[in-house]
Amino acid sequence: MTTAPASNPSVWTAPPTFWARLPTRTRMIVLVLAIDLLAALLSCGVIVLNARSAVEVEMKAALSNVELLVSDTIDLAQSASPETLLQTLRLRVQGLRHVRVTVLDASGAVVPAPSPRLRRDQHDAPHWFVALIAPEARRHELPIVVQGRHIGMARITTQPRDEIDEVWGYAVSLSVASLLVSLGLLIALYVAFGRVLAPLTQVAEGLTQLERQDYTARLAPPASRELAIIAARFNSVAQALSETRAANGRLNRQLLSAQDDERRATALELHDEFGPCLFALEANAASVIRMARAEIAPDRTKLAQRAEEISTIVGQVQTLNRDLLNRLRPHALGQVPLPDCLVLLLRDFTRRHSGTGFTGTFDGLGPGYGDVTDLTVFRCIQESMTNAVRHGRAVQVNVEAYEEAGGRLMITVRDNGGGIAPDHRVGLGLSGMRERVGALGGTLVLDNGSPGTVVRIMIPFGSERSEDTSVISDA
């Protein structure tokens, strides 16, 4: 006993993240901002490294220049008095950039400047920026010796804040310019992304229309080549869905019409065939009853005649009932192999159409290919032979069915009738055959056979065959 496989449980999907819920344009802008921020951090790192190196070099150069200036001043003023030399030196080193020079006399007291210059003690660069760039302060003391006598000392201290202020001003200017450029770029990207993604919004609206079964939705081709391809594919899908819906509507109408025709034909046959038989049975039964109730002994010959008539009528009813059931549903399908069912079908046609010869070759068929496939093969052959007799007035019909390599059933129904008329219109029978074969992924071709008509059918068969074959063989 086999058990049907359990249906797969619904797969749990995690809820969308906050990032996934953001609009596409917002996500793209955020990505651009992240790239700008990373670029800004890298630029700041490069600026800091270059500034540290530049300030270090500048401090070394300033220290060397001041040392040279102090030495030259001492050499040029050897003939002056110690006080005049110290005042001259103090005046020359006053207000230098990047260094601070303090002149001390022999006792270690600071020599005041004769006319102090104003020095800016407020700096622009913040302390954290200074801490990133400023090198370690250096101090150098030069003795002042005149004519072999030590008269004082010049104390030189590096002061990088002036250079750091220049670097800070450059960094601020660059940052403001980069910020303005980035803002302009973001605004331009926001507008550009809006224009680029606008067709996607139209696609979403069109999909919503399709979801609501409005297959008239169409998209205008946008300027972008890639999005134009998407719009073209969308329009193709919408057109295909519209055509499929129209075909389904036609098929439903044909199905309803076929059902009504089948009911009408069944009712007519019950009225024309079963009605007279039942009336004859009723008349013969009434005659038997009258003969049995008569006072005189019944005539045995008449009783036997009435019984024979009743038996004959019952046989006619059984034949009509069997034919009717076979038209509604061939009872042999699923009980005997498919080739035997087709042989019985040919025998039935030969019996009902004595003026037409029916031959068939079914040696290349397997015992069964699944209930749906077997019924399709049976109905297509039945309908093709019916059309050959009814419309083609054929006197010879040949049917061939075999299994081809690659898992395909090949069916050919050939007759010697009048062929396909120039004003031929597809009726319910032929359209029903096309729908049956198309539902199984097959093809049906109707051609002139010179003389007559040829119906060629290809039906692929799948994994149902083994199951149905085992059932048939067990039966």
DSSP per residue over 142-188, as a string? EEEEETTEEEEEEEEEE-THHHHHHHHHHHHHHHHHHHHHHHHHHHH
pLDDT of residue 243: 87
pLDDT of residue 469: 43
d(CA 61, CA 67): 10
Residue-wise pLDDT for 141-171, tens only, equals 878 777 777 778 888 887 787 778 888 888 8
Banded model confidence at residue 456, pLDDT cuts 50, 70, 90: very high
Average of per-residue pLDDT across 427-439: 80
pTM of model > 0.85:
no
SS (H, E, C) 330-375: CCCECCECHHHHHHHHHHHHHHHCCCCEEEEEEEECCCCCCHHHHH
The overall average pLDDT reported for the chain is: 79
- Does residue 440 have a pLDDT over 50? yes
Chain-centre distance for alpha carbon 68:
78
Residue-wise pLDDT for 398-415, tens only, equals 999 999 888 889 999 999
Average of per-residue pLDDT across 365-385: 88
pLDDT of residue 9: 46
Banded model confidence at residue 422, pLDDT cuts 50, 70, 90: low
Q: Where are the alpha helices (DSSP H) in 212-224?
A: none
Banded model confidence at residue 379, pLDDT cuts 50, 70, 90: confident
* Residue 32 CA: distances (Å) to CA of 35, 39, 45, 286, 435: 5, 10, 20, 101, 55
Q: Which residues pair with 67 in a beta bridge?
A: none
pLDDT of residue 474: 40
- Bridge pairing between strands 149-158 and 139-146: antiparallel
Question: Higher model confidence: residue 116 or residue 181?
Answer: 181
d(CA 98, CA 119): 12
Burial category of 392 from C-beta neighbours within 10 Å (exposed 0-12, middle 13-18, buried 19 and up):
buried
Q: Which residue has the tokens 């030399």?
A: 85
pLDDT of residue 398: 94
**340 touches 330 (CB < 8 A):** no
Q: For the chain, what is the largest distance between any 2 Cα atoms, rounded to a whole number of angstroms? A: 187
- Does residue 471 have a pLDDT over 50? no
Banded model confidence at residue 397, pLDDT cuts 50, 70, 90: very high
- Does residue 119 have a pLDDT over 60? no
pLDDT of residue 309: 83
Question: Higher model confidence: residue 456 or residue 258?
Answer: 456
Q: Which two tokens stand for residue 62?
A: 């300033």
- Does residue 262 have a pLDDT over 50? yes
- Does residue 4 have a pLDDT over 60? no
d(CA 92, CA 240): 94
Banded model confidence at residue 136, pLDDT cuts 50, 70, 90: confident
Banded model confidence at residue 360, pLDDT cuts 50, 70, 90: very high
Tell me what percent of the residues of the chain surpass a pLDDT of 70.
86
Q: Which two tokens stand for residue 273?
A: 């065939």
- Does residue 472 have a pLDDT over 60? no
d(CA 282, CA 384): 39
CA terminus-to-terminus distance, the chain: 17
pLDDT of residue 425: 67
Instruction: Give the Cβ contact number of residue 30 at 10 Å.
Output: 12
**472 touches 368 (CB < 8 A):** yes
Average of per-residue pLDDT across 74-89: 71
* Residue 292 CA: distances (Å) to CA of 203, 306, 327: 86, 12, 41
Inter-axis angle of helices 24-76 and 161-211, to 10 degrees? Answer: 170
Q: Is 459 helix (H, G, I), strand (E, B) or coil?
A: strand
Q: Which two tokens stand for residue 326?
A: 């076979």
Q: Which of 123-137, 326-340, 385-399 has the lowest mean pLDDT?
A: 326-340
Banded model confidence at residue 429, pLDDT cuts 50, 70, 90: confident
> Domains plus CATH for the chain?
21-113+124-184 (3.30.450), 333-474 (3.30.565.10)
pLDDT of residue 459: 92
Average of per-residue pLDDT across 21-32: 83
d(CA 170, CA 129): 13
Tell me what percent of the residues of the chain surpass a pLDDT of 90.
6
pLDDT of residue 14: 62
